[in-house]
Amino acid sequence: MLGAIEAGGTKFVCAVGDEMGKIIDRIQIPTTNPEDTIPRVIAFFNQYGIKAIGIGSFGPIDVNPESPTYGYITSTPKTGWKDYPFVQTIKDAFPVPVGFNTDVNAAALGEATFGAAKGLDSCLYITVGTGIGAGAVVQGKLLQGLSHPEMGHTLVRRHPNDEYQGKCSYHHDCLEGLASGPAIEERWADKGVNLTERSEVWDLEGYYIAQALMQYVLILSPKKIILGGGVMNQIQIFPYIYKYLLELINNYVSLPDLSDYIVRPGLGDNAGVIGSLLLAKQALQEEINR
C-alpha cells in the first residue's frame, strides 16, 4: 500500500492506494500551520502499513537531492511553512521511501499516466486557484532543471481597463497576482462562485490565462494542456481562453481544435493525489533498484 500527500495552499489531501492509482481511503485536512496540520497527517497514515509516501507540495520547494535543503518548502509566504523540512519530517515519522515534487508536477504526472493526457509523452497541467502553478511532462519525464517550474509567476500584459494592482506579494501583477482566486475576489469584491453571471469577470480572466498559455505553447509545445483548480470550475472561462489564445497566436503556429487541446482534468480533483501515489511508486522503485 502506498501513501500520498497532496499539500495545497488551503488543504492537505492524504490518501492510501495502490500502484495503479486506485484510492482506498482518503482524508482532507485544512492547511493551517505545521504544528496543527502535520500531526493529523501522521495520524492518518499510522492506520496503514505503507511502503512508500509521495508528496506533491505547494511551493516553492527544494527538489534538488544534492542540496542541503532538499525536501524543504522554501520561500513561501504561508505562515509557519517557510523553510519547513517537509520530507525529513515525514521520514522521521515513517521509515519508508519518500517521493517529493510540486503539487502541480504531481498532477501533471497523474494526468499523463491515467488522465486527460494518457498515452501522450508530454502535457502541461496548470492549476488556477488560491495560487497559480504549472507542472509539465516532457518526453515522458517531469520537467525539472535548476529547480521546478514556477509558471504561475509569468509576467503578462495588463488589460488596458484593469487598474487592479495585483495580489502577488512578490511580483504584484504577474499571472498569479492578476488571475488567481484571491485576485478575482479582491478585484471584484466578491468570491468567484458568486460572480458566475458576470461575463466581464471571466472575459478578463480568459485574457490573462490565454497570454500565459501562448508563452507555454511557444516554449514547451505540449501535446495537451490541462486546466485545473477551483477557478477553472467556472467552465464559462474556456471560450474566452480559446478566443484570446487564437488572437494572440495569430496563425503563427498550428494548433489542434482547442476544445480538445485545452481541457479540464481527466482525473477531476484527484489528479494531484493520484500523481502523489505515483511519486510514492517511483520512490519505492528507486529504493529497490539501489
Longest dimension (CA), the chain: 57
pLDDT tens series, the chain, 290 aa: 999 999 988 899 999 999 999 999 999 999 999 999 999 999 999 999 999 999 999 988 999 999 999 999 998 878 899 999 999 999 999 999 999 999 999 999 999 999 999 999 999 999 999 899 999 999 999 987 666 778 999 999 999 999 999 999 889 999 999 999 999 999 999 999 999 999 999 999 999 999 999 999 999 999 999 999 999 999 999 999 999 999 999 999 999 999 999 999 999 999 999 999 999 999 999 988 87
Phi, psi of 253 (to 5 degrees): -125, 155
- What CA–CA distance (Å, rounded) separates 203 from 239? 9
Nearest to residue 184, comparing CAs of 169, 203, 200, 205? Answer: 205
Helix, strand, coil % over all residues of the chain, rounded to 5:
40, 20, 40
pLDDT of residue 178: 98
For residue 152, how many other CB atoms are within 10 A of its CB? 22
Give first-to-last CA distance, the chain, whole Å.
20
Exposure letters 269-288 (e unless 16+ CB within 10 A, then b):
ebbbbbbbbbbbbbbbeeee
* Residue pLDDT, tens place only, 203-234: 999 999 999 999 999 999 999 999 999 999 99
Percentage above 90 pLDDT, the chain: 90
For residue 43, how many other CB atoms are within 10 A of its CB? 13
Domain covering 116-264, topology = Nucleotidyltransferase; domain 5 (3.30.420)
Nearest to residue 216, comparing CAs of 150, 145, 129? Answer: 150
Which residues make up the CATH 3.30.420.40 domain(s) of the chain?
2-103+269-289, 116-264
* Residue pLDDT, tens place only, 81-109: 999 999 999 999 999 999 999 999 999 99
Residues 6+ positions from 17 with CB-CB distance below 8 Å: 1, 2, 4, 23, 24, 274, 277
* Residue pLDDT, tens place only, 155-180: 999 999 999 999 998 899 999 999 99
| Residue range 2-103+269-289, CATH number | 3.30.420.40
What is the DSSP-derived secondary structure letter of residue 242?
A: H
